[in-house]
């Protein structure tokens, strides 16, 4: 990954954008794709679409730009913040963490309180719900706190981007800044190959709270085919339950989902693209749903042929998600290659 592409990834990871509050991170993405797209537009909720105009076949390469987080639910009289969840935030990893409350007047630093082990009952190993946890910003009372934050302000873990061994990278929000990075890079790399199809790179909002942005974009854009780029669980760490194993591993390439949502013709086109471009591709079974924007795209309008392409990710929905940079680079190449060869595989129809 060259310096410019690495800088984009770090900028996306370090710019908070929990669901419903994505404007700043969306702006980072829009500024980047504006360098090479023919057109960039946003809608009323902040979904962003960058387009390379070409032939009649229209391809959407989409990631979701939002992340999980927390929200200021209430302010206590003694000067503490009560939290609510934004998306699937994990109560088991929030206590004892440094956080930032994003207010209209700027960031306010705080910590999520955790009773010291010395003060807890010996058998008290339970984890309180997020609604029972609190943020301490150092305020002495409720009046001082009310001068600093408002109900409804979003909260995120303070960001640390850490390089691990063997090209692995750890950060908060890999889910799903890697998806919008790959969509943007897929578009740029397709442009370098003089793609003949019309290609849209998409960064959706509010995926973590119900795939809402993809519902909007799928209806409005109505492409011939949509690829949702997201993370998927790498089940190669020691704490992964055996019954949840998928065979997906870090460093073995992007993952093409099969079953349910995933259109079989598009699946085969992606597999052929990987083989032709010498890109290692893993397969994953998703017999009921993918849990990604693909689930919204494929039922939009009269149905949009869609597939979820996942990036192996350890420790999802924690502040220490781990990916392999080589997998991410390969994902962008796979998206670009699919777009370049889209006309060869169109129309995307099941032969009945």
Give alpha helix (H) positions in 141-196: 142-148, 174-192
Query: What's the rounded Cα separation, in Å, for the pair 50 and 190?
Result: 13
- In the annotation, is 144 catalytic? no
Residue 230 annotated in ligand binding: yes
Query: What's the rounded Cα separation, in Å, for the pair 224 and 211?
Result: 19
Residue 3 annotated in ligand binding: no
Residue 124 annotated in ligand binding: no
Choose, from 58, 67, 207, 252, the residue flagged as catalytic.
Answer: 207
Nearest to 281 by CA among 331, 231, 336, 348: 331
* SS3 label, residue 9: helix
The pair of structure tokens assigned to 130 is 């997020």
Nearest to 18 by CA among 244, 206, 178, 189: 206
Residue 175 annotated in ligand binding: yes
Query: What's the rounded Cα separation, in Å, for the pair 278 and 309?
Result: 17
Cis peptide upstream of residue 176 (ω within 30 degrees of 0): yes
- Are the CB atoms for 298 and 290 separated by under 8 Å? no
Nearest to 40 by CA among 187, 216, 186: 187
Residue 98 annotated in ligand binding: no
* Cα separations in angstroms, 150 against 97, 158, 161, 180, 260: 21, 19, 28, 30, 42
Query: What DSSP line would sit under 260-319, residue for residue?
Result: TTB-HHHHHHHHHHHHHTT---EEEE-SS--SSTHHHHTTSTT---EEEEEEEEBSTTST
Which residues belong to the annotated binding site for Zn(2+)? Answer: 64, 175, 208, 230, 317
Q: Which residues are annotated as a binding site?
A: 64, 175, 208, 230, 317
Active site amino acids = 207
């Amino acid at each position: 990954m060259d310096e410019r592409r690495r800088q984009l990834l770090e900028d996306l990871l370090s710019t908070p954008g929990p669901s419903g509050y994505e404007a700043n991170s969306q702006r980072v993405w829009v500024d980047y794709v504006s360098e090479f797209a023919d057109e960039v537009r946003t809608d009323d909720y902040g979904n962003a679409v960058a387009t390379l105009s070409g032939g009649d076949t229209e391809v959407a390469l989409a990631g979701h730009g939002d992340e999980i987080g927390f929200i200021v639910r209430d302010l206590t009289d003694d000067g503490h913040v009560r939290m609510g969840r934004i998306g699937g935030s994990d109560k088991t990893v929030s206590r004892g963490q440094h956080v930032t409350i994003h207010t209209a007047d700027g960031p306010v630093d705080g910590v999520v309180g955790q009773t010291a082990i010395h003060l807890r009952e010996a058998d008290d190993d339970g984890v309180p719900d997020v609604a029972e946890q609190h943020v301490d910003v150092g305020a002495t009372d409720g009046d001082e706190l009310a001068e600093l934050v408002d109900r409804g302000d979003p909260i995120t873990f303070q960001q640390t981007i850490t390089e691990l061994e063997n090209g692995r990278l750890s950060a908060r929000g890999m889910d799903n800044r890697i998806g919008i990075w790959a969509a943007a890079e897929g578009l740029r790399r397709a442009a370098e190959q003089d793609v003949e199809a019309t290609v849209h790179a998409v960064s959706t909002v509010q995926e973590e709270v119900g795939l809402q942005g993809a519902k909007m974009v799928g209806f409005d854009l109505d492409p011939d085919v949509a690829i949702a780029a997201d993370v998927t669980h790498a089940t190669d760490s020691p704490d992964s339950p055996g019954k949840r194993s998928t065979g997906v591993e870090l460093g073995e390439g992007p993952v093409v989902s099969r079953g349910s949502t995933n259109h079989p013709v598009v699946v085969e086109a992606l597999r052929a693209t990987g083989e032709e471009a010498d890109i290692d591709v893993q397969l994953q079974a998703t017999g009921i749903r993918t849990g990604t924007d693909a689930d919204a795209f494929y039922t939009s309008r009269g149905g949009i042929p869609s597939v979820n392409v996942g990036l192996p990710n350890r420790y999802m929905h924690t502040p220490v998600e781990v990916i392999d940079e080589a997998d991410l680079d390969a994902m962008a190449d796979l998206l670009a290659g699919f777009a370049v060869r889209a006309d060869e595989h169109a129309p995307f129809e099941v032969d009945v």
